[in-house]
């Protein structure tokens, strides 16, 4: 049961999908205007290839720069989750960049880290967009793991114009203690903290991060 819980944290069900079936089409109409989907790959500091897509108007005058929102998916999600955000943002002349974090979707990697390593993936996306002269301000839209990722990265980059945060958690250790109770993991109450410490060591060995460090309340 404890092993299953470890997998629930760092290896939840992985979203496998066909981009041409689950993403917006490479060219599409929305609210009477024409848009396009540009697919690309980025490489994170750990050498993992990240699958990304950028939704933007089919044509942008050379002297025009548009704001962009990076959509950050949850722990079992993928870049297809940004489809609904695109419906809201594109008609407002805001482009949408979305990616499969390492360990998620079609990107490389075996584990997720609930924001710890994903922060570096997000940094790659922001750095890439900063080189695009037709991108002006950058905002973040994160859900669950993606919301924590946005908070962790945003604390280091004051140039981020704004953030939409959906269902973020404050710290992973506390969340795991709560989930042990919610999912009724069968260990005596007095051994729950010992069990979580065991999971801490296991996660640190496999996913290369310490759950005790993942605390958004402490970030400045």
Give me 194's structure tokens. 């010992």
Give me 170's structure tokens. 């404050």
Please enumerate in sequence order all residues whose Cβ is within 8 A of that of 213, keeping only pairs 6 or more positions apart, or say none.
116
Q: Report the predicted TM-score, pTM, of the whole model to 2 decimal places.
A: 0.92
User: What domain count does the chain have?
Assistant: 1
Instruction: Specify the residue for token string 């959509």.
Output: 71
> Is 196 inside a domain boundary?
no
At 175 the three-state DSSP class reads: helix
Instruction: State how far the alpha carbon of 79 is from the alpha carbons of 58, 96, 125, 178, in Å.
Output: 20, 11, 13, 28
CATH number of the domain residue 85 falls in: 3.40.50.1820
Please enumerate in sequence order all residues whose Cβ is within 8 A of that of 129, keeping only pairs 6 or more positions apart, or say none.
68, 70, 97, 135, 138
> Is 166 inside a domain boundary?
yes
* pLDDT per residue of the chain (220 residues) written in tens, 0 to 9: 677 778 878 899 999 999 999 999 999 999 999 999 999 999 999 999 999 999 999 999 989 999 999 999 999 999 999 999 999 999 999 999 999 999 999 999 999 999 999 999 999 999 999 999 999 999 999 999 999 999 999 999 999 999 999 999 888 888 877 776 665 666 665 667 777 888 889 999 999 999 889 988 877 5
Work out the widest C-alpha separation in the chain, in whole angstroms: 65
Q: Which domain holds residue 134?
A: 2-55+64-172
> Is 199 inside a domain boundary?
no
> Is 213 inside a domain boundary?
no
């Amino acid at each position: 049961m404890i092993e299953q819980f470890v997998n629930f944290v760092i290896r939840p069900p992985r979203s496998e999908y066909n981009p041409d079936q689950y993403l917006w089409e490479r060219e599409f109409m929305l609210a009477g205007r024409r848009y396009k989907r540009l697919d690309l790959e980025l490489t994170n500091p750990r050498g993992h290839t990240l699958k990304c897509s950028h939704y933007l108007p089919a044509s942008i005058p050379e002297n025009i720069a548009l704001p962009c929102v990076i959509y950050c998916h949850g722990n079992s999600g993928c870049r297809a989750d940004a489809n609904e955000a695109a419906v809201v943002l594109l008609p407002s002349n805001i482009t949408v960049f979305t990616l499969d974090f390492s360990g998620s979707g079609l990107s490389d990697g075996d584990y997720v880290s609930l924001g710890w390593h994903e922060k570096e993936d997000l940094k790659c996306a922001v750095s890439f967009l900063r080189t695009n002269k037709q991108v002006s301000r950058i905002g973040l839209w994160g859900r669950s793991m993606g919301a924590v990722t946005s908070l962790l990265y945003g604390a280091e980059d004051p140039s981020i114009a704004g953030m939409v945060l959906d269902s973020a958690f404050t710290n992973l250790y506390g969340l795991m203690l709560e989930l042990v109770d919610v999912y009724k993991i069968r260990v005596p109450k007095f051994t729950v903290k010992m069990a979580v410490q065991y999971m801490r060591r296991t996660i640190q060995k496999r996913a290369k991060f310490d759950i005790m460090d993942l605390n958004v309340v402490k970030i400045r």
